[in-house]
Chains A and B, each alone.
Chain A
Amino acid sequence: MSKPLKSRTTLDDEAVQWYLVISDGESATEEQYDAFLEWIQDPMAEAAYARCEQAWEVVGQLGKDPDIANTLVPPGESAGITRLSEWGSRRVLLQAACVAVLGILVVLAGPMGLGYFGLESHVYRTATGERQSVLLSDGSEITLNTQSEVQVSYSRSGRKLVMTRGEILFEVAHDKERPFTVDVDGGEVVALGTRFTIRKEEKHERVLVALLEGKVQVNATADSRVLAPNQSLLFSQKDISEPRVIEDVDKVTQWQHGRLSFTDTSLAELVEEVNRYSVKKLIIQDESLKSIKIDAYFDIGDLESLLYGLRQTAGVKWRHRDGNVFIFRDRALQE
């Protein structure tokens, strides 16, 4: 080549500087665009700039490369979206177990004294994104999902819980003498030895009760129903549905392991669910994105990995603004 190496390097530096100013189409001033067009009139500059465009594009394509992705998400942290085969990994289960055990240990310390006499009264609540398992004095275990609250009052004659918020899994120890009842939104769920979840769906002003094992009776204002295992029903202040077979039991309980899976779910639904776990809310900006169906996993608390995964599978990009995350279609990928 005819030109000395040094001046070439400088031109490449300049091109990169210009590219970073100009390319996002958002931050440059009118004067900068003027100066840029002045600069790029030189065909050498034009060529250098075009190479930057190309380099940028090629790096973008490498986003799918596992080694490259690992730079951003080190192998130690699991990505928000993983293939099914990776999901069974022992490490994840171990993590979930540790979280659960820790929750039990922390909570045990408090109400244990009273619980020893079969009496206890305590309010348990979880913050956004938090999850907690509580082992009660009778051997029953409750697991609170994000943003949940329940008051537990045990006496010699009964085990009474009042659930005021969120979603809770109940694993009830058998005790014929002391019925286990959960009051929620004017309804009452009565259980003997059994496993069930209650989820308050604030948006629809209704409660979902799903039975996994045993038998529960739901007494709502409108009527009473008995659930058989793998059945669920919805009730509100004025209505109660017939029991329905739960199609995917994992869906009902997966949150207790700290990970949510979504299959063939619209992005709008996914975002609504994920937002329950996060103070930072996802907001979809492009109407056309809302109905896109995706398969995804979300490790509760790891929003960045979810976003990174969505970028790969749904072709979105995002922007952090005002403490929230705005999601757009990534046109660069779409073209």
Chain B
Amino acid sequence: MANKCTSLPQNTLTRESQQFYEEIYRQYNSVITGFFRRHGYTQDEALDELQNVYFRVIRQNQPEKLVDTPKAYLLSVATNLVRDRYRREHRQNQQAREDVDLDNLPTLEASPENTLQLAQQMLLMKQALMELPEKKRKVFLMKRLEGMTCKAISDKLNIPLRTVERYLSEAFVYCQVRAIKETGVKN
């Protein structure tokens, strides 16, 4: 990479940010606990998982999300924890449908095999992207690489919002199927 990084990010919390997290916690703990209860957790499990939500939130260190949309952000972290639990349960049950190998679900952890797989997937993904009509590719990449909202893309490319949304999902589905599904998960 061209840049030099002479100072590394500090993940330690300052007193202000600790107060900030505590305030968020006070405000939303009942919402999050209630959410876990609705998805099959006992009260104790819910409270344990609540801690895990905050561990993840602090580790992810995305204050902007906590400031802008605290509830949605906390719920998204909670949702991922519920998903993890589903996966664990499925794995234990051994009753997973025959054509889904839950132990081989794609993971994003780095290992030699995964690195090789990633390189291959990047190649296939590039092909898939290039096969798309230019407008669709552009919309998808503006969303993914520039983090633009559909509204912003619609304004910039002068395409109706509905069309942007359609292009986005069509491009996404196409690339997913071509580069991941048709090659990734095997039995």
Contacts and interface: CB of A to CB of B under 8 A. Distances in A.
Contacts of A135: none
A308 B3 contact: no
A293 B5 CA distance: 6
Given A37-B82, A51-B185, A58 B4 contact: no
Given A291-B7, A313-B3, A50 B99 contact: no
B118 interface: yes
Contacts of B73: 25-26
Nearest to B177: A12
Contacts of B64: 285, 319, 326, 328
A72 B141 CA distance: 7
Contact of A12 (B90, B122, B168, B176): B176
Contacts of B184: 51, 54
Interface in B88-113: 90, 96-97, 99-100, 102, 105-106, 108
Contacts of B172: 16, 19-20, 52, 55-56
Interface residues of B, number: 73
A51 B176 contact: yes
Interface string A37-68: 10011011011101111111111111101011
Contacts of B180: 51, 54-55, 58
Interface residues of A, number: 79
Contacts of B140: 59
B141 A68 contact: yes
Interface of A: 1-3, 9, 12-13, 15-17, 19-20, 22-30, 33-34, 36-37, 40-41, 43-44, 46-48, 50-63, 65, 67-68, 71-72, 81, 83, 264, 285-286, 288-289, 291-296, 304, 307-308, 311-314, 317-320, 326, 328-329, 331, 334
